[in-house]
Amino acid sequence: MKLLNSDIAIPLYQQLYDLLLDQIRSGVYPPGSKIPSEEELCKTYDLSRVTVRNALGRLVDDNILVKRHGKGTFVATPVFTESAYANGSFTKSCEQMGATPSTQVVSRKQVKVGKALAKQLQLEEGAKAICIKRLRCINGVAAILEVDYFNGDMDFMMEADVETRPILDVIRENSGLAGRQYIDTFEVHFANREQAGCLKCPANTPLLKVSQVVLNEMRGVLYYNEQYIRSDIYKYVMGS
């Protein structure tokens, strides 16, 4: 444990500020995690409550910590913003924001489409489709649960690398088709247990749901996806 020094010119509250900031940046306290209480910090570093409150207050003012009434003090989760200029690409959005994207396939299977999904994919009800669920993370923090649906004829999607490569690149290389238009529908959705587990949030947390139809050059449906987004982490900015 790093001790604070009352014999140097740097005030104790600043030393505690610097120490906690270093622990946050090094991952001791990752985004969203709870830090020790004022009482615990007082005992650990032999400081007065005034000194501890001063350090924590400055970290809150600098948007590094957030206080939640009745729950404690937590490391703030960065909010990332996607602009329309990213053309629907999660990876490109992250690169524009200077963030590191990562993707994990949660499941991949063939399904029979119901009436609503058949309409989105321009298929007959009961036709086969391929469903891929992916968790999209920003700097290691789960931000989006994406569910992609493809025509059952795109059997190459059952084996394709969709963790390190953009889906549109995979489709273009295997079918010659490219995405040309995106039709998005936005609504509020309350997380079910599966979604909450993947996104590491409580069940019934309000999420931004984006339903997206991707059209090819001939205005046929290339694929359809639903994105369940933690809006406290990831936001859309739309222009007009």
Note the pLDDT of residue 97: 72
64 and 117, same domain (yes or no): no
Residue 220 in any domain: the answer is: yes
Look up the domain containing 29 and give its range: 12-75
Helices 38-45 and 49-61, packing angle to 10 deg: 120
Residue 41 in any domain: the answer is: yes
Radius of gyration in angstroms for the set of CA atoms belonging to the chain, rounded to a whole number:
23
Note the pLDDT of residue 226: 97
Residue 120 in any domain: the answer is: yes
Residue 54 in any domain: the answer is: yes
List, as one string, the DSSP characters of 122-137. T--TT-EEEEEEEEEE
Note the pLDDT of residue 85: 47
- Number of domains making up the chain: 2
Question: Residues of the chain whose pLDDT is less than 50?
Answer: 85
Residue 5 in any domain: the answer is: no
Supply the pTM of this predicted model.
0.72
Residue 218 in any domain: the answer is: yes
Note the pLDDT of residue 26: 84
